[in-house]
Chains A and B, each alone.
Chain A
Amino acid sequence: MNNPADIKYLISCYLDGEVTLEEKRIVEDALRKDPALKKYLDDLKKVSASLSSWTDENLSPDLEQKLERHIQSAGKGEGRTMTTSSFSIPMKTGAAAVAALLVLITVFINIERNEQLARLKSIRQVNEQIALSTLDSKQSQSSDQPVPSPVYGQKGQTEIQPLALREQEKYEADVLSDKLMAPVTEKKIDEGFFRIEQTAGERADKSKVDRVAKAETPKTLEMRATEIAGAMQAEPYKEANRRNIAVARSTESVASTKDGYLSSSAGPAQYYSLGGQIPAAPYPSKGRISDGEMYYPISPAENFNTEEYDRIYENAFLSSVENPLSTFSIDVDTASYSNIRRFLNGGQMPPKDAVRIEEMVNYFVYDYPQPASEEPFSITTEAAPCPWNPSHVLALIGLKGKELTAVEAKPSNLVFLIDVSGSMDEPNKLPLLQSAFRMMVNQLKADERIAIVTYAGAAGLVLDSTQGNEKPTILSAIDHLQAGGSTAGGAGIQLAYDVAKRNFIPGGNNRVILATDGDFNVGVSSDSELVRLIEEERDAGIFLTVLGFGTGNYKDAKMEKIADKGNGNYYYIDSINEAQKVLMHELGSTLFTIAKDVKVQIEFNPAHVKAYRLIGYENRMLAKEDFNDDTKDAGELGAGHTVTALYELIPADSGEEVQTTDELRYQKREAIPSNEVMTVKLRYKKPEENTSRLITRILNRQDISQSSVSDNWLFASSVAEFGLLLRDSQYKGNASYQTVLERAQPAKGQDPWGYRAEFIHLVEKAGMLNPGPTPVPVYMNK
């Protein structure tokens, strides 16, 4: 008869008995004919039943008594009734309620407000203390580390500003979209309560909102996918993605339900963590379609989801006879980890393709030694039996970038390119960025510069490049950032780069920082043009970093790619803590690129290693010839940063079979006897140079530890194991949440910022979402 959605809709009404006789007949007919619909009805009944688990609560007894008392003494107000009887009240009952409320204000509302403010104040104080204490402990960690001056200066005086009180109240337009067949309601219920309004600006926003939120049919997604794939095709970087790592542009977007996960396309609440508080999504702001397709796509089947992840094909075990060389580019993106955190905090398993193990491992800082004099970084190697497969060996390779002293740290010239489209108006997006931004501003030095360019809304140059000591000017500009407004095309990334160029600091940290929730309408006409622009500017010395926010419209794959192109990093900001971490500790002058185009190439000795598997880095693989090719782009390393890679090795004497080709007829393969297991080679360029330098490090047989391993190894391996579990990797062996915790917990170390403890927490959460035969122990010492 009609389309399936209609029938289901009728079934929902039928369940409540709200159908006409005609409709009832139609439904009962359909139910008889189609067992799937019968199941649907049963599901709805089950849903209703489950709702009843959330039972009512009682009022507090004293409140009840208080109210009773008020009611009983209501009769004393005889006089009032006389006067009101002649008072002709406007027929909107809400207005009447407001009048009553005004009368009550001095008695009731003031008390309430003071209580509320006191509560809020105490919450803020607690928060300041948390922030103060965490900063303090970080400071005391090591004295040779160039720690930025604390943002929280004097005690009690905080630089955290609350959201600027808007001078003009923004009324939420709870717009009923045309889909809902009702005319847009412009009913004014009442001044004091709730106004439903829609300004012209909001209508304009809505059309843009519609564009994104409208159900993306599989066809449109396909089309866009091929367009982007085509753009990537043209790029040399694509070469890095060949070999056995075909990166297929997947519009499947999230884990399919056949994997047993919840359709995690339905996004979790937007979270920002303040010591564990997780607020729920508030009312949407103006111009939003109220049925929620903007935030929380309903299900993969309906294709409303616009979150996108590239599919990852895991690195397989490669025979070291056939493939003695493993080559990859280093990666210090960490977005995958914060993204995973977002899902787990929301009570869901992350989609497998959102799990990039190398980013998870690299989210944490490891305790590798400082490099010796000349070199910009040190290489550490460590190997021990693989925890999830004891017949294998897990080899860790760690790089540590040289720390810069305060004197050496080069100043920054930063241009923030901020998406101010309507969708950025949520608390976990623009306001979150603003808060973190303010904190960062406070530690800017006089010789540093900041500028702000906005796009996709009221676009343009909000703040021309300003020196770091003019804090009031900068803060004022931040306060005035507002999401929404009509789109002024054109202004955007080109403007941002121009500003950066005009204020270029030679030898400094010149960077454009793109902050968005997925909208790339930055004023260039196509993806390939965008990429080209970014690469050109990168070559001229202006790098690009991407900050991702929010859920639902989140273009993880795309953001990672463009950050790559720009020699920058890509961060996913899911909380004020993460925003702080990134803006203050990663983007400031403490992030200084000390080496660019850093590539790693490892040669394995077949006499000792039968086969090897690089864990993660699928998006970073390079062809072996690329290693020596200085024109090939690779990752960069910042001062003080660590990069970690893990290989799972199958020893030569293992009984395991590894796929190999036949013996060659015209060449003989001869291994050279040696105690060396593998050679780690590193190529890097100094930031201003274009010729690479080489560092080598060798791992010997005797270096493989059977007994003692460092905390670094323990922790890194536990993170990797967790990643394998989240991906449900075919290589996970005996991995389990339990063993992850067993290694992570003792290797937590000092953990001044609590990230490792948070990791442990996340593992526990994941463990609870996936109860196995053995329950996951919950660590109480948080």
Chain B
Amino acid sequence: MSKQDEELIAEYQQGNDEALNMLFHRYKMPVFNFALRLLGNRAEAEDAASEVFLVLVSKKEAYQPKAKFSTWLFTVTRNACIDRIRKRKNIFSLWFTNSSGEQEQWEIPDDDGETAAEHAARRETAHQVKSVIELLPPMQKEALILREYQGLKYEEIAHILGCSLENVKVLIFRARERLRVELASSILEDGDE
């Protein structure tokens, strides 16, 4: 039976580095992929993810048990991403290519048991999905990603985004509406995807 996050972080704060290592491995994918979907490119996402984990490395007390560990972690990640986006826009936004600059090379990792055709179809869908999500306004995008890709409850999402629960419901609803409309012709019409 694996230990709870809060237990692990407490252990780490008492000096057990291995506990942090376990947390790292537990959360490396969620943190990195959350950042990746927000920022749109691997390089920045890796930077952001590193930043997040290194915070814990350098400052054990960075996390206080006022909130769930995962909430805190996602909040820090989100902040790191927003900071990067803001810097992007202010300084070199006209020139700095982010996500879509790498669109050509974007490859989806293979799923086991997929045929080449299935993989191609999935990649096509993924491209579309990605581009629609990219266009969502920030809060909607974040809420949707946290819900659909991290599977968080609305309550937790509300904490991370710093808004009310009601708000989260609306954000997710709107994001889904947008997706539904944008993907209408490709995803919904042909029912067997």
Contact = CB atoms under 8 A, between A and B. Distances in A.
A56 B59 contact: no
B185 A262 contact: yes
Interface size class of B (residues with CB under 8 A): 35 or more
Interface string B30-68: 001100110010110011011101111111111110110
Interface stretch (A263-271, A630-638, A672-680): A263-271
B137 interface: yes
B10 interface: no
Interface in B50-100: 50-51, 53-64, 66-67, 72, 75-76, 79-80, 82-83, 85-86, 88-100
Contact of A262 (B54, B99, B176, B182): B182
A170 interface: yes
A326 B1 CA distance: 85
A101 B55 contact: yes
Interface string A199-231: 000000000000000000000000000000000
B137 A284 contact: yes
Contacts of B61: 81, 84-85, 87, 89, 96
Contacts of A170: 90
Interface stretch (A179-187, A315-323, A453-461, A607-615): A179-187
A57 B86 contact: no
Interface in A246-299: 257, 260-263, 266-269, 272, 274, 276-285, 290-292, 295-296, 298-299
Contacts of A283: 82, 85-86, 89, 138
Interface size class of A (residues with CB under 8 A): 35 or more
Contacts of B24: 67-68, 71
> Counting chain B CB atoms within 10 Å of each CB, which of A12, A44, A46, A87 scores highest?
A12
Contact of B126 (A53, A66, A123): A53
A94 B99 contact: no
Interface stretch (A188-196, A334-342, A585-593): A188-196
B26 interface: no
A123 B164 contact: no
Interface in A664-711: none
Contacts of B54: 67, 70, 100, 104, 108
Given A9-B169, A47-B183, A70-B54, A269 B94 contact: no
A16 B178 contact: no
Given A16-B154, A71-B21, A260-B185, A282 B88 contact: yes
A773 interface: no
B169 A63 contact: no
A169 interface: yes
A269 to B, nearest CB: 5
Contact of A432 (B17, B46, B94, B183): B94
Contact of A56 (B29, B56, B138, B169): B29
A48 interface: yes
B61 to A, nearest CB: 5
A545 B105 CA distance: 40
B55 A194 contact: no
B180 A44 contact: yes
A427 interface: yes
> Counting chain B CB atoms within 10 Å of each CB, which of A56, A70, A74, A119 scores highest?
A74
Given A59-B49, A189-B79, A427 B60 contact: no
Nearest to A269: B135
B25 to A, nearest CB: 8
Contact of B134 (A9, A166, A281, A292): A281
B182 A93 contact: no
Interface string B174-193: 10111111111101100101
A79 B67 CA distance: 26
A210 to B, nearest CB: 15
Contacts of B184: 257, 262-263
> Counting chain A CB atoms within 10 Å of each CB, which of B24, B88, B108, B162 scores highest?
B162
A91 interface: yes
A427 to B, nearest CB: 5
B174 A67 contact: no
A760 to B, nearest CB: 18
A283 B36 CA distance: 16
B79 A166 contact: no
A67 B62 contact: no
20 contacts: A9-B169, A9-B170, A13-B172, A16-B154, A47-B187, A48-B148, A53-B108, A56-B33, A71-B24, A71-B53, A74-B60, A75-B17, A96-B61, A97-B79, A193-B80, A267-B135, A269-B100, A278-B103, A280-B40, A282-B93
Given A97-B59, A182-B167, 16 more contacts: A44-B180, A50-B129, A60-B46, A63-B49, A85-B61, A93-B66, A97-B62, A97-B76, A108-B54, A174-B138, A279-B93, A282-B93, A291-B139, A292-B137, A347-B131, A576-B94
Interface of A: 8-9, 12-13, 16, 18, 43-44, 46-51, 53-60, 63-64, 66-68, 70-72, 74-75, 77-78, 80-81, 84-85, 87, 89, 91, 93-94, 96-97, 99-101, 103-104, 108, 112, 119-120, 123-124, 127, 162-163, 165-166, 169-172, 174, 176, 179-182, 185, 187, 189-190, 192-194, 196, 257, 260-263, 266-269, 272, 274, 276-285, 290-292, 295-296, 298-299, 347, 427, 431-432, 435, 576
